[in-house]
Amino acid sequence: MDDEAVYNITGTWNGKPFEKLMLAECALDAEATIVFWANLGNASLDDLNVEYHSAVG
């Protein structure tokens, strides 16, 4: 994981808005992680948006 970046993730989780910062190798990795946790918790996930926030290091 040498080329990590910080991503800002927003959306609604069970109808409640959320915003998280996540360290990931790419936007797709960050999105897949959020979708995985939503599926694991049987949560409703809507309006998911992943944006680059900043570089690491």
| Helix (H) or strand (E) segment spanning residue 32 | helix 27-40
Instruction: Report the Cα 47 to chain-centroid distance in Å.
Output: 12
pLDDT score for 3: 84
> Closest Cα partner for 31 from 14, 52, 57?
52
The 5-13 sheet, strands edge to edge: 16-24, 5-13, 45-55
pLDDT score for 46: 97
pLDDT score for 2: 65
- pTM comes to 0.87
Q: What is the mean pLDDT of each run of 10 residues along the chain (57 residues)?
A: 88 97 96 96 97 91
